Each structure stands twice: as structure tokens, then as C-alpha cells.
Amino acid sequence: MQIRFLPCATLALTMAAGCLPAAAQTQPAAPAAPAPLPAAPGAAEGPKFPPVSAANFTAPSPTKAEVDAFLHSSWGYDPDRTWEVYAIQKTPAPGLSKVLVLVGEKPNPRVGNMSFYVTPDGHHLIAGNSVIDFGAHPFEANYRLLQQRASGPSRGAPGKQFELVEFADFECPHCRDAQPLVKKLMADFPQAHYVFEMFPLVSIHPMAFKAAAFASCVNEQAGNAAFFKYADAVFAAQAELEGPDGTLALRNAATGIGLDPDKIAACADSPATRAKVDSSMQLGQDLSVDSTPTLFIDGRAVPMMELPYDQLKKIISWQFATDQDAQ
């Protein structure tokens, strides 16, 4: 049985299931999972890791404790996940260290392995095609950035201590399918502040930017509650949006929630509205969002449609509890 590393999206070991821009679709996928090693001898309660030699640690940084702290932040939500930092080695590139980690899942005795590189400044790691934050608190920078700049339509708790931020595209079918999931999460986590950020994938969805602009104007003119009614209507009419007259579908959605479609359309064509959508897109780019829907849980990026709901809840509960303890 091969160890399944889907919950390890933090380490970018899998491509997210969702809508991808054309540029991302042409890139090779990152390794899907660590290669399994031969089954380690041991009892059925879990894997038994081989002894670790001090000779495996030739790089001065990061330290084993720093790697352990990073993995605890990434995987601590799963009580069945176990690991051993097996090696931290120098590479020919000055200051660039290679880290090898042995990983297992209780009660399976099989051991898998994964490797990544840590940059000389100790702030990032490289895994596959991705560069992500490294350290004991790898999501903190994104968390603070989102608290400052995520200003899209919102619902839930007014405070931003526990924050869920979704980057979505109105033409993305995965985003449409994610909306009932979001509503379920908001019911299960009433302490969460949820923000919808526009991230139209303009290279593959010709109506996505206009849909985002219309939705932004609905929020500006009628508030958050109207926005989410409008969003539901647009997602429900997604097939019409992609048809020959997608603008009519946007106008009809505005009429359907009692708004003047001419006023919404005029607002959507304004430079101020285009700048607002551009700003939301820039925020996503600054966070390295490359597919929709992407959900940030206090700064932790999760490919939300790729995880079973119970697992997603477990990650959110862990992240919220961890951040509460840190404050």
C-alpha cells in the first residue's frame, strides 16, 4: 500500500484539483507521493523507522528541531501521521540544504520517504515545482497578509482572528461545486470570518473578469448578503454565462435579486471596479494561487475540493486551535 500524501498539500507534493490557467496546465505535475520503501519490520501499530546516523547531518542548517517544528505545523492535525527526519545534507549550491524525511501512517507498517531543499536564508523550501514558506510558523506571513488585504465580500464572524479566504472564479465549475461546502463550513465554524476573493482565470474563462466586476458592484451597492445571493445565482447560471450572451446571464442574476442591472453594468465598466478586481487578483498572485478554488485557513493554503470534508474540518480545527494558542 502506498502512503497517501494528499493532506500534505502544504509541501506541494500534489497538484490541486480545480480550475487551472493555461500556463499552469502546461507545467509538469509535482511528484504525486513519496516512493514507498520496503515494509519495515515491526508491529501492526505503525511503522518502525530505521536508525538515524549522525553522519547523515552534514548541513549546519536547518536543524532537525526546525524541520520537526515545520512538519508539526504542517501535519500535526493528523494523529496517525508519524515521521523521522533522516538526513539534512549539504549540496553543491552554497547554503542550500537537502532534507530527507521518512514518513508513515498508523497502523500501516510501511515507510515512505520524501525530500525537499531549504534555501540558504532558511525561510523557504523547494519541493517539486513549488517554493513555499518554511519554519515553525510557515503560514504566519500569509495569515497577516490576508488579514491586511483580503477585503472582498464577507460573512460569518466580524473579527479576523479565525479567517477563511477563498479565491474563486465564477466560470470555474469546481468553484460552483465548492459553494455548498463553504456554507457547511460556516455552519460548523461560526467563529470563522469568511472572505470571497475574486480570482478570474482570464486566460481560460473569457467572462470571468466581467462576472467578478458585476459581483463586486453588487457588493458595493447592496452589501454582503446581496453579494452572496448574486454569487449563488451566477454559479447556478454558469452554463448560460459561458454561452453566446453571458452578459445577459449576469444582468438577469442582478434582476433576480431585486437590483437594477443597468446600474450594476455601469459600475462594472468603471475603472474603479476594474482596479478592485485587479487588486484581488494581485493578492492571489502574491500568495502564489494558481488554481481555483483555493481556500486559505489562517494563511494555510488548501485545495479544498481535493479533500474529504471530515479531513478539511480536521485541518481547520487544528489550525484555529494552533493560532489561538499562539496568541
Q: Long-range pairs for 269-278 at CB < 8 Å and ≥24 separation?
A: 269/213, 273/213, 273/216, 273/217, 273/220, 274/213, 276/216, 277/198, 277/200, 277/209, 277/212, 277/213, 277/216
CA distances (Å), 40 to each of 101, 225, 284, in order? 15, 55, 42
**Nine cell digits for residue 118:** 531549504
pLDDT at 242: 82
pLDDT at 326: 72
**Nine cell digits for residue 19:** 480550475
Q: Is the pLDDT of residue 22 over 90?
A: no
Cα separation of 204 and 26, whole Å?
13
pLDDT at 4: 31
pLDDT at 33: 36
Q: Looking at 9-13, 43-47, 158-162, 252-256, which range is the least confident one?
A: 9-13
Q: What pTM did the predictor assign?
A: 0.86
CA dihedral (116, 134, 69, 308) in degrees, to 10, reads: -80
Closest to 201 measured CA to CA, from 305, 291, 304: 291
Q: Is the pLDDT of residue 3 over 50?
A: no
How many residues are listed for the chain in this entry? Answer: 327
**Nine cell digits for residue 320:** 484555529
**Nine cell digits for residue 138:** 510557515
State the chain's mean pLDDT as an integer: 88
pLDDT at 17: 54
Task: Please state which CATH number belongs to domain 142-295.
Answer: 3.40.30.10
| Angle at CA of residue 288, ends 64 and 4, nearest 5° | 55
Q: Looking at 17-26, 177-186, 249-258, which range is the least confident one?
A: 17-26
Cα separation of 303 and 7, whole Å?
9
What is the arithmetic mean of pLDDT over 94-112?
95
Cα separation of 162 and 323, whole Å?
8
pLDDT at 139: 97
Answer left, alpha or beta for residue 298, where phi above 0 means left and psi between -120 and 50 means alpha: left
pLDDT at 1: 25
Which residues have a Cβ under 8 Å from the Cβ of 10 and sit 6 or more positions away?
74, 75, 132, 138, 300, 301
Q: What is the DSSP letter of 248?
A: H
CA distances (Å), 290 to each of 93, 214, 217, 243, 282, in order? 28, 23, 25, 25, 12
What is the band of 27 on the pLDDT scale with cuts at 50, 70, 90?
very low
Which of 29-33, 192-196, 243-247 tops mean pLDDT?
Answer: 192-196
CA atoms within 13 A on the CB side of 267: 23
Q: What is the DSSP letter of 292?
A: B
Partnered with residue 98 across adjacent β-strands are 89, 117
Q: For residue range 41-76, list pLDDT tens digits in order.
A: 444 578 999 999 999 999 999 999 999 999 999 999
pLDDT at 52: 96
Q: Is the pLDDT of residue 86 over 60?
A: yes
* Domain assignments of the chain as residue spans, ordered by start: 6-137, 142-295
Q: For residue range 150-206, list pLDDT tens digits in order.
A: 999 999 999 999 999 999 999 999 999 999 999 999 999 999 999 999 999 999 999
Other C-beta atoms lying within 10 Å of the C-beta of residue 117 = 16
Helix (H, G, I), strand (E, B) or coil at 67: helix
What is the arithmetic mean of pLDDT over 110-135?
95
**Nine cell digits for residue 26:** 502546461
Closest to 104 measured CA to CA, from 5, 18, 170, 27: 5
